[in-house]
Amino acid sequence: MKISIVGTGYVGLVSGTCFADVGITVTCVDVNEKKINALKKGIIPIYEPGLETMVHNNIEKGRLLFTTSLKEAIEQSEVVFIAVGTPPDEDGSADLKYVLDVARQIGKHMDHYMVIVTKSTVPIGTAKKVKAAITDELEKRGVELDFDVASNPEFLKEGNAIQDFLKPDRIVVGTESEKAQKMMSRLYKPFLLNGHPIIFMDIPSAEMTKYAANAMLATKISFINDMANLCEIVGADISSVRDGIGSDSRIGNKFIYAGAGYGGSCFPKDVKAVIKTAADYGYKLRVLQAVEDVNDAQKHVLVSKIKEHFGSNLSQMTFALWGLSFKPKTDDMREAPALVIIDELIKMGASIKAYDPVAMDEAKRILGDKIFYGDDPYDVLIDADALVVITEWPEFRIPNFKVIDKLVKNKVIFDGRNIYDPNEMVENGFSYYSIGRKA
Ligand code: UGA
Best residue among 156, 169, 238, 435 to mutate for probing ligand 1's pocket (most ligand atoms within 8 Å of CB) is 156
Average pLDDT of the residues in 302-308: 97
Tens of pLDDT, residue by residue over 190-244, are 999 878 899 999 999 999 999 999 999 999 999 999 999 999 999 999 999 999 9
Calpha distance 352→173 (Å, rounded): 46
Position 109 confidence tier, pLDDT thresholds 50, 70, 90: very high
DSSP 8-38: -SHHHHHHHHHHHHTT-EEEEE-S-HHHHHH
Total count of residues recorded for the chain = 439
Question: What's the Cα-to-Cα distance from 362 to each of 320, 326, 370, 381, rounded to whole Å?
Answer: 18, 12, 13, 21
**In the predicted model, is pLDDT for residue 152 greater than 80?**
yes
Using a pLDDT cut of 70, give the percent of the chain over it.
100
Query: Ligand 1 centre and the CA of 266: distance in Å?
Result: 7
Residue 249 has pLDDT above 90, yes or no: yes
CA-nearest of 308, 301, 272, 302 to 289 is 272
Residue 147 burial (CB count, 10 A): 20
Range of lowest pLDDT (181-195, 231-245, 369-383): 181-195
Using an 8 Å Cβ cutoff, are 3 and 74 in contact? no
Would the pLDDT of 180 be above 90? Answer: yes
Q: pLDDT confidence of 84, banded at 50, 70, 90?
A: very high
**E strand intervals along 113-195:** 115-118, 148-151, 171-174
- β-sheet with 318-322: strand ranges across: 372-373, 351-355, 318-322, 386-389, 412-415, 431-433
Q: Residues near 157 by Cβ (< 8 Å), separated by ≥ 6?
A: 164
Binned at pLDDT 50, 70 and 90, residue 89 comes out as confident
Q: Going edge to edge, which strands form the sheet with 171-174?
A: 64-67, 25-29, 2-6, 79-82, 115-118, 148-151, 171-174, 198-201
Mean pLDDT across the chain: 96
Task: Output the CA–CA distances (angstroms, integers) from residue 232 to 48, 221, 239, 281, 435, in the order listed.
Answer: 36, 17, 12, 39, 8
266 annotated active-site: yes
State residue 439's pLDDT score.
67
The strand pairing partners of 149, in sequence order, are: 116
* 353 confidence band (pLDDT: 50, 70, 90): very high
- Alpha carbon of 265 to ligand 1 centroid (Å): 9
pTM strictly above 0.90: yes
Interatomic CA distance for residues 168 and 81, integer angstroms: 18
Query: What letter would DSSP give residue 195?
Result: S
Residue 119: CB atoms within 10 Å: 22
- Probe residue for ligand 1, chosen from 167, 327, 333 as the CB with the greatest number of ligand atoms within 8 Å: 327
Ligand 1 center–CA 156 separation, angstroms: 9
Single out the residue of 84, 80, 161 nearest to residue 114, CA to CA: 80
Q: CA-to-CA distance for 250 and 37, rounded, in angstroms?
A: 49
| Residue range 318-324: mean pLDDT, rounded | 98
Beta strand residue intervals within 36-112, DSSP E: 64-67, 79-82
| Residues with C-beta less than 6 Å from any ligand 1 atom | 121, 154-158, 214, 217, 221, 255-257, 259, 262-264, 266-267, 326-327
Mean pLDDT of 151-156: 96
3-state secondary structure 323-367: CCCCCCCCCCCCCCHHHHHHHHHHHCCCEEEEECCCCHHHHHHHH
Do 148 and 175 touch, CB atoms closer than 8 A? yes
Spell out the domains of the chain, with CATH numbers in brackets: 2-201 (3.40.50.720), 211-297 (3.40.50.720), 299-433 (3.40.50.720)
pLDDT of residue 431: 96
Binding residues are 30, 35, 86, 121, 155-158, 210, 255-259, 263, 269, 327, 334
Q: 191 CA distance to ligand 1 centroid (A)? A: 22
pLDDT, mean of residues 166-181: 96
Q: Looking at residue 90, what is its pLDDT?
A: 81
Q: Give residue 79's pLDDT band: very low, low, confident or very high (50, 70, 90).
A: very high
Going by pLDDT thresholds of 50, 70 and 90, the confidence category of residue 24 is very high
